[in-house]
Every structure is written in C-alpha cells, then in structure tokens.
C-alpha cells in the first residue's frame, strides 16, 4: 500500500469537492470515530464465533467501514504533518519492546 499515493488521491477528492475547510484535525478525528462506531455496530450483539464468521454481505460492509476509518486517519495524519508509515512503525516497535516475552 502506497500511503503517499492514497493521501494524494484523498486530497484530490477533498479539493475537487471544496472540503478542505471542513478537514480540521478535530473534524477528521470525529469523523474517524463515527466510522469506527459504524464498524462496531456490525458486530453488536454477535457472539465471539459469529464475529469471526461474518456472512459475505456483513464482511463487505465491515471492509467498507475499515476503509473509511483508515482514509480519515490518513487525512488526519496529513493535517497534523505526521507520516502514517512512521507513526505506525514507531508504535509497533514500542509494542514489541513493551510486550516481548
């Protein structure tokens, strides 16, 4: 996944629709949270086993919501001047250090 290309494509959509004024860090964080809530709703009231064996339509819906969350987080990183790849790698390295056995 080329995060720079994805971010450029997102910026093109944003700019074509004149949404830049709405893409503050606060608004993007809230939008990502809303999309995450939509993802959580797919799993609401399912058992552990059911959540691991989603029917095709729910699995596709989950994929769309995951995509929404990731795209909003890419836009948020861009607005904050953060590099998503570096942020994720740094967090993974920290988790490996903290939770190594």
- Residue-number span of the structural domain to which 82 is assigned: 3-99
pLDDT band at 61 (very low <50, low <70, confident <90, very high): very high
φ/ψ of 12, rounded to 5, equals -65, -45
Q: Which of the four pLDDT bands, split at 50, 70 and 90, describes residue 63?
A: very high
- CATH number, domain with residue 44: 1.10.287.1080
b/e burial code for range 27-55 (CB count within 10 A of at least 16 → b): bbeebbeebbeebeeeeeeeeeeeeeebe
**Nearest-CA neighbor of 4 among 96, 90, 82, 101?**
82
Q: How many domains does the chain have?
A: 1
The model's confidence at residue 101, banded by pLDDT at 50, 70 and 90, is confident
pLDDT reading at 48 higher than 90:
yes
């Amino acid at each position: 996944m080329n995060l720079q290309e994805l971010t450029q494509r997102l910026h093109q959509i944003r700019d074509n629709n004149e949404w830049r004024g709405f893409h503050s860090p606060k608004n993007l964080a809230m939008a990502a949270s809303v999309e995450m809530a939509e993802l959580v709703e797919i799993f609401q009231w399912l058992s552990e086993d059911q959540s691991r064996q989603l029917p095709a339509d729910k699995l596709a819906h989950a994929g769309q919501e995951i995509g929404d969350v990731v795209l909003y987080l890419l836009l948020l990183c861009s607005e904050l001047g953060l590099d998503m790849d570096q942020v994720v790698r740094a967090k993974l390295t920290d988790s490996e250090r903290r939770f190594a056995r």
